[in-house]
């Protein structure tokens, strides 16, 4: 069989040190999770796999469970752009016994679940600031069920007794969303995996609990049959999935297996080239290249990878990190080129540069500026030390630097720690497994307890094009609820207000100016230190039998597993 | 008031049954959707066909006739204006597009219009916003049986700012069927030195108006809706003279953006500051390459036929039928069901929008209204349309059934159709 024709069969094997943050679509907010969720949880809209990143269709949502993208001209979008009528396609089935159709009620349940106070959506603000009544629903939910160890019955009781006023079910196949204000990116927001349908069976499950992970249901081409968090994942074909009801995905391989274990990129690469695995799971192992790659997406929105987050609510050092003056002092310290060299040695295969702003190039609202310029981006520890003294800490600080214990992360942490130590700061490195890292950051209780002071995550835009809010809203708008992506609990009322102002305007130029102003403010406050900006795709190494592996910018450059197939081993 | 020419005493006094026979209408169907598409009279179809055949294979020079000087002169008179101010275009959308694109609007200017305008108005203003930076200020006009002309004018007045350069409004709104108080709105605009544009898609052929007396600067109308000309015909009016008693403001700077005749060098002749024409702006606008001579001739025929029947008579008939329909709606569905004006007759148009279902929440249910309209058509051969629009203070998009009455309708079919609607709505409620 030719490699251009899909072959059915085989088990796709991924191997590496990564982990999903959550299996539950309501809370999963990490690219690896989204790569897997695409296989079993469907949204109203999603992104197609398009090989050429310069093709605008690669970043444009298409109907998934919806019949069509609502427009004024198909009567799906009201003239004032405040009402979206979304019609659902028939024949999308849950893998329940007996199989049952996915309905509008399942989507409403999904929207309610993303507000749950146990393990909610990391970018809940996308939704609460857009859909009428969702903020009120989320607040009431948090007030009614204030404890993080709520039972499934408590959660279901609230969800089933309360409605979101701006989401209405006209009939099982028609959903109406009423917005607070026009949002030209609303279809992108609905394409987030948070907005997946949720079957009634989830009323009996605590979000992302062990039991949820055992009983998670599928309406996609694969279903989870075995999940050991941070260790192993196996998906098999969903027998009730019908290609006739899914324009986006396929079901070429029989099974998908992910083995998650500590391994360095060399080991991951060795497994793939030897045929013991097909694809990397998290390790940046790239196809061999001779010349440095060019940007494959013509400046399609870059990612921040890594950036440093300060825990602004840390009680350590007498609460020093709450002081913007202290954070500003620290922001001068870092040698960004040293971190770039670490990635270069990994042969990451992508275009990367030192980053200076919260919004990196190619994203809406980006303007080049640098509030902390140092010669050659090498950092200025002396200036850091001096400013720290001015801020009342002449004897330095002691900071806990939390980092993932895999891939380049330990080296990056060491490099940053060395920079800080040159400025007279003591750094305690705190490694953490990939499986726990993001979940740890998403719980503000850990930040409040001072479990960490500084950490180095990465951030890729949730969508491209009209994405002004895709960095600033989840990363910087006040959000101290479980599941938050504002890991350092940064809060500035002026920033919050400007974000709302940017969202409130339909004037693109004005919105651009406001997003840039927010960028300037968060950089002035040194809420983060941008370290590197990365082009949105990377030539990941593929095993010899992998065909049609298409990297998706919306899942941080990882492959669309639902459309690739495996050639038979020679 | 428009001048009636070519008076035909036969049609001027003919019964409405006889008038109905002029139209190519299916006798088994009830056409209450003239706001979307009119019904062509047989004479109009024949003219279209005859003229098209005459020109098929013809080697004659098409350019002088495609300026339609005679047609424009006759049609202009129907609307109280002159040939140099009237253009036969392809539809109201094209007319509106050319008006908006032809105005000098920049980032310091604002346009005031309503959320109840047709897509073509809002989209073209948004285009101007994106292209030239002009601000677009929107008001949601009041609606319902109690709305008054004063309330409508007050809504505009409250939204005027020193930056407002243009006020644009429908002559008759396509959603709630509100006949806007054009003269009062033009008075308001003129007091503030503001240019006025009327989207009159639903005006030609039903309201007997004198554009000069109304005081408008621009109007774009449809030729194929209430005027019952062929599809692909429209009228564009651009004020080209100054009659201080109607509109004392100087003529606004205007660019004929689609024009073959615009000078290759230099400018158009200076436009007048008096009531005497100095520049035939209509010709500059009308000259746009080859044109459909058959369609223009058919539109002119429709206008001529209207004059024979009597434009005032047609208006009175259509409005009376519209009033009849409103009263029936009140009887069958209750006054609160009306989105159209009821008590202020100045706002009456032969367009009636109402919520057919008992449950208030059904007013926000697009599926129900779509099914209602589909079933009327499929099961009862009654043609209406549904409309969607915002209502002040409501977070919901409201969906209404819209009935249009015209000269070829009669009381019995309106009664019958509304009774069917009441039964169907009951069943669906």
Over residues B82-121, the pLDDT tens digits come to 999 999 999 999 999 999 999 999 999 999 999 999 999 9
Which residues are registered as beta bridge partners of A286?
A: A540
Band (pLDDT 50/70/90 cuts) for residue A523 is very high
Evaluate the omega torsion of the peptide bond into residue A306 and state whether it is cis, within 30 degrees of 0.
yes
Q: For residue B136, is pLDDT > 80?
A: yes
Please name which of A327, A340, A343 lies closest in space to residue A378, comparing C-alpha atoms: A340
Q: Do B388 and A72 touch (CB under 8 A)?
A: no
Tokens of A151: 């039972």
Partner-chain contact B364 A168, CB within 8 Å: yes
Residue whose tokens read 């060399």: A266
pLDDT at B4: 41
b vs e for A100-117, b when ≥16 Cβ sit within 10 Å of the residue's Cβ?
bbbbbebbbbbbbbbbbb
For A174, the closest chain B residue by CA position comes to B367
Alpha helices in B278-410 (DSSP H): 281-286, 293-309, 311-333, 366-380
The gap between the terminal CA atoms of chain B, to the nearest Å, is: 46
Cβ of B366 and A79 within 8 Å?
Answer: no
Sign of CA dihedral A6, A12, A17, A21: positive
Chain B residues whose CB is inside 8 A of the A168 CB are 364
CB of A383 less than 8 A from some CB of B: no
In DSSP notation, A158-189 reads HHHH---TTEEEEETTEEEEEBSS--TTHHHH
Q: Could you give the CA distance from residue A167 to residue A173 in angstroms, rounded to a whole number?
A: 13
Q: Specify the DSSP class assigned to residue B337.
A: G
Cβ-Cβ contacts under 8 Å, B396 against chain A: 83, 178
pLDDT at residue B5 above 50?
Answer: no
State the count of interchain CB pairs (< 8 A) between A and B: 40
Distances (CA, A) of B20 to A28, A161, B406: 66, 58, 10
Residue with tokens 């006020």: B167
Residue B1 pLDDT: 41
Picking from A208, A160, A258, A216, the residue whose alpha carbon sits closest to that of residue A443 is: A208
Q: Which chain A residues are Cβ-neighbours of B389 within 8 angstroms?
A: 79
Task: Please name which of B421, B302, B308, B293 lies closest in space to residue B356, comparing C-alpha atoms.
Answer: B421
**Cis check: omega of the bond before A98, within 30 degrees of 0:** yes
Per the DSSP assignment, residues forming a β-bridge with A280 are A15
Determine the pLDDT at residue A108: 98
B397 interaction partners in chain A (CB closer than 8 Å) = 78, 80, 82-83, 178
- Dist. CA A18–CA A119, nearest whole Å: 20
- A82:B364 CB<8 A: no
- Does the pLDDT of residue A350 top 90, yes or no? no
Mean pLDDT of chain B: 95
Q: What is the pLDDT of residues A187-222, one digit of tens each?
A: 999 999 999 999 999 999 999 999 999 999 999 999
Separation in Å, CA of B108 to nearest CA in chain A: 15
CA distances to A25, A134, A554, B336 from A164, rounded to whole Å, are 19, 6, 28, 27
DSSP track, B380-395? H-EE-EEEEEE-TT-S
Percent with pLDDT over 70 in chain B: 98
Where does the pLDDT of residue B7 fall: very low under 50, low under 70, confident under 90, or very high at 90 and above? very low
pLDDT (mean) for B260-279: 94
A78 interfacial to chain B (CB closer than 8 Å): yes
Q: How far is Cα B103 from Cα B166, in angstroms, rounded to an integer?
A: 9
Pairing of strands B110-114, B164-170: parallel
Sheet containing strand A167-171, edge to edge, reads A83-87, A174-178, A167-171
Cross-chain residue pair B395–A85, CB shorter than 8 Å: no
Reported confidence tier of residue B55, pLDDT bands at 50, 70, 90: confident
User: Does the beta-carbon distance from A176 to B370 stay under 8 Å?
Assistant: no
Helix, strand and coil in chain B, % to nearest 5: 40, 15, 45
Helix A409-422 and helix A336-345: axis angle, to 10°?
160
Give the separation between CA A358 and CA A310, rounded to whole angstroms. 14
Phi, psi of A255 (to 5 degrees): -150, 155
DSSP tag of A213: H
Higher pLDDT, A72 or B190: B190
Residue with tokens 């999940």: A227
Identify the pLDDT of residue A3: 55
Q: Which residues, listed in sequence order, are joined to residue B22 by a DSSP beta bridge?
A: none
> A279-293, A389-403, A407-421, B116-130: lowest mean pLDDT where?
A279-293
Give the position of tokens 């009228």. B235
ipTM given for this complex: 0.86
Q: Which residues of A touch B366 (CB under 8 A)?
A: 75, 85, 170, 174, 176
**What pLDDT score was predicted for residue A477?**
96
What are the phi and psi torsion angles at A359 (to 5°)? -95, 115
Q: What's the confidence (pLDDT) of residue A570?
A: 56
- At a CB cut-off of 8 Å and minimum separation 6, what does B209 contact? B2, B79, B80, B171, B182, B203
How confident is residue A163, by pLDDT bands cut at 50, 70 and 90? very high
Averaged confidence pLDDT in chain A: 94
- B120, closest residue in chain A (CA to CA): A79
Measure in Å the smallest separation between the Cα of A484 and chain B Cα atoms. Answer: 29
Partner residues linked to A352 by β-bridges: A534
- Three-state secondary structure call for residue B45: helix
H helix intervals, A162-282 = 186-190, 210-215, 265-274
Are A83 and B367 a contacting pair at CB < 8 A?
no
Which residues lie closer than 8 Å to A267 by C-beta, 6 or more apart?
A: none
Tell me if B397 and A83 make a contact (CB, 8 A cut-off). Answer: yes
Q: What helix, strand, coil percent values describe chain A, rounded to 5? A: 35, 15, 50
Model pLDDT, residue A345: 87
Q: CA-to-CA distance for B315 and B207, rounded, in angstroms?
A: 5
pLDDT over 70 at B50, yes or no: yes
Give A442-459 pLDDT, tens digit per residue.
Answer: 999 999 999 999 999 999
- Provide the percentage of residues in chain A whose pLDDT is more than 70: 99
Answer for the pair B173, B116: CB distance below 8 angstroms, yes or no: yes
Confidence class for position A1, pLDDT limits 50, 70, 90: very low
Q: What is the pLDDT of residues B279-333, one digit of tens each?
A: 999 999 999 988 899 999 999 999 999 999 999 999 999 999 999 999 999 999 9
Distance from the Cα of A178 to chain B's closest Cα (Å) equals: 7
Give residues 315 to 374 of B whose Cβ lies within 8 Å of A: 364-368, 370
The stretch B144-173 carries a mean pLDDT of: 98
CA separation for the pair B121, B197 (Å, rounded): 10
| Whether the Cβ atoms of residue A303 and residue A461 lie closer than 8 Å to each other | yes
- Residues of A within 8 A of B119 (CB-CB) are 72, 79
To the nearest whole Å, the CA of B373 is away from the closest chain A CA by: 14
Q: Round to whole Å and give the CA distance between B32 and B413.
A: 9
Average pLDDT of span A67-87: 94
For residue A100, the surrounding DSSP H or E stretch is: strand A100-101
Burial B165-199 (b: 16+ CB within 10 A, else e): bbbbbbbbbbbbbbbbbbbbbbebbbeeebbbbbb
pLDDT reading at A508 higher than 80: yes
Q: Per the CB < 8 Å rule, is A82 touching B397?
A: yes
**Is the model's pLDDT at A151 over the cut of 70?**
yes
Q: What are phi and psi of A86, to 5 degrees?
A: -115, 120
Contact state of A78 with B390 under an 8 Å Cβ cutoff: yes
The answer to whether A135 and A500 are in contact (CB under 8 A) is no
- pTM for the model: 0.91
Residue B9: its pLDDT value, please? 59
Name the residue of chain A whose CA is nearest to B365's CA.
A170
DSSP class of B107: T
**A184 and chain B: CB distance < 8 Å anywhere?**
no
**B367 → closest Cβ in A79, A82, A170:** A170
**Could you report the per-residue pLDDT of B192-235, keeping only the tens digit for each?**
999 999 999 999 999 999 999 999 999 999 999 999 999 999 99
Tell me the mean pLDDT in the region A547-552.
Answer: 95
Instruction: For residue A290, name the pLDDT band (cuts at 50, 70, 90).
Output: confident
Task: Kindly state whether A80 is in contact with chain B, defined as any CB-CB distance less than 8 angstroms.
Answer: yes
Rg of chain A over Cα atoms, rounded to whole angstroms, equals 23
Cis peptide before A514 (omega within 30 of 0): no
Of A82, A174, A508, the CB nearest to B367: A174
**CB contact (8 A) between residue B366 and residue A72:** no
pLDDT at residue B295, as a whole number? 96
Look up residue A342 and give its DSSP letter. Answer: H
Nearest by CB to residue B366, choosing from A75, A82, A508, is A75
Name every chain A residue with its beta carbon within 8 A of the beta carbon of B388.
75, 78-79
> What is the pLDDT confidence band of residue A53, given thresholds at 50, 70 and 90?
confident
């Amino acid at each position: 069989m030719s490699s251009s024709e899909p072959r059915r069969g085989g088990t796709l094997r991924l191997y590496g040190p990564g982990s999903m943050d959550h299996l539950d679509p309501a809370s999963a907010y990490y690219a690896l999770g989204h790569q897997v969720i695409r296989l079993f949880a469907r949204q109203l809209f999603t992104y197609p796999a398009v090989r050429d990143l310069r093709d605008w269709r690669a970043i444009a949502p298409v109907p998934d469970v919806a019949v069509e993208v609502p427009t004024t001209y198909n009567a799906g979008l009201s003239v004032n752009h405040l009402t979206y009528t979304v019609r659902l396609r028939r024949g999308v089935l849950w893998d329940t016994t007996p199989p049952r159709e996915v309905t509008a009620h399942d989507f409403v349940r999904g929207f309610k679940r993303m507000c749950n106070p146990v393990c909610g959506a990391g970018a809940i603000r996308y939704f609460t600031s857009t859909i009428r009544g969702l903020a009120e629903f989320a607040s009431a939910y948090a007030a009614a069920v204030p404890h993080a160890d709520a039972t499934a019955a408590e959660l279901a009781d609230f969800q089933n007794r309360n409605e979101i006023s701006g989401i209405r079910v006209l009939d099982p196949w028609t959903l109406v969303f009423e917005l607070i204000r026009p949002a030209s990116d609303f279809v992108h927001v609905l394409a987030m995996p948070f907005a997946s349908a949720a079957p009634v069976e989830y009323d009996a499950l605590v979000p992302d609990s062990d039991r949820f992970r055992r009983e998670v249901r599928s309406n996609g081409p694969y279903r989870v049959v075995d999940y050991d968090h941070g260790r192993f994942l196996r998906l098999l074909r969903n027998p009730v999935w019908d290609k006739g009801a899914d324009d986006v995905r396929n079901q070429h391989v029989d099974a998908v297996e992910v083995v998650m274990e500590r391994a360095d990129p060399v080991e991951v690469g060795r497994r793939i080239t030897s045929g013991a695995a097909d694809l990397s799971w998290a390790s940046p192992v790239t196809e061999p290249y001779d010349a440095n790659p060019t940007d494959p997406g013509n400046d399609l929105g870059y990612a921040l990878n890594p950036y440093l987050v300060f825990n602004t609510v840390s009680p350590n050092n007498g609460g020093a990190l709450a002081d913007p003056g202290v954070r500003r002092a620290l922001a001068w310290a870092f040698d960004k080129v040293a971190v770039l060299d670490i990635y270069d040695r990994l042969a990451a295969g992508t275009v990367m540069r030192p980053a200076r702003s919260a919004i990196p190039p190619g994203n809406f609202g980006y303007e080049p500026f640098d509030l902390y310029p140092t010669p050659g981006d090498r950092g200025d520890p002396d200036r850091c030390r001096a400013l720290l003294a001015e801020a009342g800490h002449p004897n330095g600080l002691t900071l806990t630097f939390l980092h993932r214990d895999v891939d380049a992360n330990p080296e990056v942490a060491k490099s940053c720690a060395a920079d800080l130590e040159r400025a007279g700061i003591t750094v305690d490195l705190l490694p953490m497994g990939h499986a726990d890292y993001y979940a740890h950051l998403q719980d503000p209780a850990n930040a409040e307890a001072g479990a960490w002071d500084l950490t180095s995550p990465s951030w890729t835009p949730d969508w491209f094009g009209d994405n002004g809010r895709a960095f600033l809203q989840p990363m910087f708008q006040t959000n101290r609820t479980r599941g938050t992506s504002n890991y350092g609990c940064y809060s500035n009322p002026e920033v919050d207000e400007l974000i709302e102002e940017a969202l409130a305007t339909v004037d693109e130029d004005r919105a651009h100016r406001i997003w840039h102003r927010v960028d300037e403010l968060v950089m002035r406050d040194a809420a983060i230190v941008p370290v590197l900006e990365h082009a949105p795709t990377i030539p990941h190494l593929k095993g010899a039998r992998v065909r049609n592996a298409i990297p998706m910018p919306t899942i941080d450059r990882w492959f669309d597993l639902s459309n690739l197939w495996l050639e038979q081993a020679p | 008031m428009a001048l009636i020419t070519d008076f035909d005493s036969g049609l001027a006094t003919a019964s409405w049954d006889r008038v109905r026979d002029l139209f190519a209408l299916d006798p088994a169907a009830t056409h209450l959707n003239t706001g979307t598409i009119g019904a062509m009279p047989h004479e109009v179809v024949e003219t279209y066909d005859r003229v098209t055949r005459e020109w098929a294979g013809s080697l004659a020079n098409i350019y002088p006739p495609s300026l339609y000087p005679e047609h424009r002169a006759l049609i202009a008179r129907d609307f109280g204006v002159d040939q140099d101010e009237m253009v036969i275009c392809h539809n109201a959308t094209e007319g509106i597009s050319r008006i908006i694109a032809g105005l000098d609007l920049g980032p310091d200017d604002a346009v005031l219009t309503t959320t109840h305008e047709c897509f073509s108005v809002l989209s073209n203003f948004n285009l101007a916003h994106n292209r030239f930076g002009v601000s677009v200020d929107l008001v949601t006009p009041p609606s319902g049986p109690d709305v008054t002309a004063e309330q409508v004018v007050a809504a505009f007045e409250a939204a005027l700012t020193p930056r407002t350069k243009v006020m644009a409004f429908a002559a008759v709104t396509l959603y709630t069927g509100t006949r806007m108080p054009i003269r009062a709105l033009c008075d308001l605009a003129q007091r503030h030195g503001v240019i006025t544009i009327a989207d009159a898609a639903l005006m030609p052929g039903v309201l007997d108006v004198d554009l000069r007396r109304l005081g408008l600067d621009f109007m774009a109308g449809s030729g194929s809706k209430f005027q019952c000309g062929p599809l692909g015909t429209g009228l564009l009016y651009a004020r080209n003279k100054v009659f201080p008693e109607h509109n004392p403001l100087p003529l606004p700077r205007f660019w004929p953006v689609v024009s073959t005749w615009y000078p290759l060098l230099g400018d158009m002749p200076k436009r007048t500051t008096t009531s005497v024409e100095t520049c035939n702006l209509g010709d500059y606008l009308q000259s746009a390459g080859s044109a459909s001579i058959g369609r223009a001739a058919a539109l002119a025929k429709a206008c001529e036929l209207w004059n024979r029947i009597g434009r005032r008579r047609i208006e009175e008939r259509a409005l009376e039928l519209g009033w009849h329909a409103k009263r029936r709606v009140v009887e069958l569905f209750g006054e609160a069901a009306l989105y159209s004006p009821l008590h202020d007759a100045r706002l009456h148009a032969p367009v009636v929008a109402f919520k057919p279902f008992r449950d208030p929440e059904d007013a926000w249910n697009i599926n129900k209204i779509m099914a209602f309209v589909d079933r009327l058509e499929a099961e009862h051969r009654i043609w209406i349309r549904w409309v969607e629009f915002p209502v002040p203070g409501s977070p919901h998009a409201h969906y209404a059934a819209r009935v249009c009455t015209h000269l070829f309708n009669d009381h019995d079919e309106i009664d019958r159709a509304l009774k069917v609607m009441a039964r169907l709505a009951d069943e669906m409620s």
